[in-house]
Structure formats: structure tokens, C-alpha cells
Structure 1
Amino acid sequence: MHFNPYGGAAAELAAALVNADPADELLDVLKASDYKPLGSLDARQERDVRDWIERLRQVFREPAVDLLNDLLAQSSTTHYISTHDGRAPHLHYAREDAPTDVRLKAYTAAGMAALFCEDAGRIGWCDREGCDTVFVDTSRNGKRRFCSTKCANRVAVAAHRHRQAG
């Protein structure tokens, strides 16, 4: 499925943040996700982003209009059309010179909202019991249930063993 840039990359960044080990440096997670422009985070901003990640986790667990509207309201800044880097005109939800935490919140809120509006079923939480990994379902048919092939295989093997034992 083709998502707009906010519904795709921004929602995938939200998933990467939710899935990141809390001990990981947030800037390292952002760098690994190729988030740009990357700035710095002071201690207050880092706490705010970690709180934000917990709110994103709630959206992955139970995607809902109210939760997403709250995220959008809390991250709202001035929307504008940008043509940076020779790209076609596209929306930005925060100023490029805004602090990293402000841009990150606006970007992930807009991404999750765009994804929800396109197809809320694409916001996923792994179906394997005990797995807390979230994902954005970019499969063609939108029927993904597991975060990885490894989790899907574990469930399939367990089901097979259960049938064989029964």
C-alpha cells in the first residue's frame, strides 16, 4: 500500500519509537529511522518525548479518533506548505526551525492520523501472546497480524503442536 509521507514514514517512526528499548538514546533511535532534520534534546524535551511515546503506544494498542485528536491538538503548530530540497509542494506540520521535540510530536501525530484515516487496520500490534511489538502494515492486502515472520512462525508451530497433541 502506498501511504502519503506522513502516513508512511511518520507512522513507521512512531512504531520505531514505541518499539525502542527505553534504555536507548532517543537521538540514536531517530538517526536509525533516518529522521531529519535532527536536532538535540535537553532533559525536559527527552522526558516529554518519552511521555509522547507512551501516548503513541496507546494509539497502537487501540486506535481511536479521540486519542488521535488529542495527539493532534497537543502537537498543533502552524501548518504550512514547503518546497524544500527541490521537492514538490507538500504539507509540514511544524516549522523546520522548531525544536526537535515539537517537530517530532507534530510529525508522528500527523502520520498516525493520516494512517488511521486511510486505513485504521494498518495500525498493528503483534498477535503473538507476550509480544509487545507494534507495526505499520504496509502489506498489499492489509492482513498482517504479526510484527515479524519469527512471531508468525512461533504461533504457527505452537498451533501445529497443539493440533498434533490433541
Structure 2
Amino acid sequence: MHLNPYGEYAVTLAADLANRNPETLAELVERCVDAGIILDFPIAEKDLDETLDLLIEWSKIVDVTEEAARAELVNVMLEQASAYPRMTNHANDGWHLHYRDPQQSLAEVLKALFSVGTALHLVGRGMHRLGRCTLDECTNIYADTSRNGNQRYCSPTCANRDAVRRHRARK
């Protein structure tokens, strides 16, 4: 069974790229391939700048916490980026859905992937399950995929650092 790729991995890739912007097109391509994206479409130098702009736009979804406002931002991105779903087996790795038109650029593919993935993540797991790390000195984004839905930190390192700080403050 081939699971829908637009859920968790799309949101975690968006968060990863937003937390650590790719500096070159080659780095962007490498990180997309590492995340499982099959690059069977044209890639151009402009994709890096367009992807960096996309990550700024996507980060606005993360930063708004009011549910209706968050949904509106996701809906705007969905309208701009996604097409009707279509079944594909383009890489002979199993049938799955694409929510984009064929032969789009890398930045356009990422926009469709991130918008649909974010929408599925929020409606499937909860509108609160996307945010920024609670640790004061950290601004990293996290997509909460935890079982209990109470993630507040981007990593165990930040959670541990804050726990130690709170423990020392009590003494």
C-alpha cells in the first residue's frame, strides 16, 4: 500500500527548509530528494528564490494561531498552488495522488505539496499542531506529529534545555 505523500512528510519538509533555508539550488534539490520527492520535472535556477519566497509565505501560516485566520492562509495557498487530484504512477513506485498540474517547476511543486500537506496535517491532526519552539532563544518551526498532540518544542534538545532551566529556577 502506498500512503498519501501529502501528509506528514510534506509538513516536516516545509518546516525543515524554513528552519534551515537552502543556500544553493543543488542543496534544495538534494534535500528534496532526501525527503523522497521524485524530480521528474524541469528545475531552474529561479526555483531557489521562488522556494525561499514560498517558505516565507508558509511561515505566516505557522505564525498565525487563530484557527480561522490560519485556515484562510492555507486556503489562499491551496487556491494558488493546487489542482484537482489525479492518480499517478509516474515513477513506477505505486499509485498515489498528485494535487498539482504535470510539468510544473520545483517551486510550484513544493507549493502544491506544502499547501495540501499542511491542510491535511491541520484538519487530520488538529489546527494547533503547527508552531514555533517554546524555548525563548529558539524560533524553529515544528509540525506536531506526536501521539498526544502536545508538542511545544522543535526538538528533544530544546525541550531538555528548557526543563533544566526550569529545574534550576526552582532551586
TM-score exceeds 0.5 = yes
- The alpha carbon displacement at 1:96 in A equals 4.5
The count of aligned residue pairs is 161
Deviations 1:84-139 (A, max 9, x none): 42524x32111443222221111111000111111122213211012111122121
Cα distance change on mapping 1:138 and 1:132 into 2, 3 Å: same
Residue equivalent to 1:138 = 145
Distance 2:4 2:44 in 1: 31
Structure 2 CA distance for aligned equivalents of residues 134 and 40 of structure 1: 29
Residues 1:157 and 1:37: Cα distance change in structure 2 (over 3 Å): same
Offset at residue 23 of structure 1 (A):
3.0
Q: How does 1:72-151 map to 2 (within 5 A)?
A: 72-84=78-90, 85=92, 87-88=94-95, 90-118=96-124, 119-151=126-158
**Structure 1 gaps, min length 5:** none
Which of 5-14 and 74-83 deviates more?
74-83
CA RMSD of aligned residues (A): 2.2
TM-score by length of 2: 0.82
Q: Aligned residue for 1:44?
A: 46
Distance in structure 2 (CA, Å) of the matches to 1:71 and 1:95 = 15
Quote the offset at 1:79 in angstroms: 2.9
Is the 2:129–2:144 Cα contact (8 Å) retained in structure 1?
Answer: yes
Where does structure 2 lack aligned partners over 5 or more consecutive residues? none
Aligned-residue identity in percent: 32
**Under a length normalisation based on structure 1, what TM-score does the superposition of the two structures give?**
0.84
Give the Cα separation in 2 of the matches to 1:32 and 1:17: 12
Q: Is the 8 A contact 1:20 1:29 kept in 2?
A: no
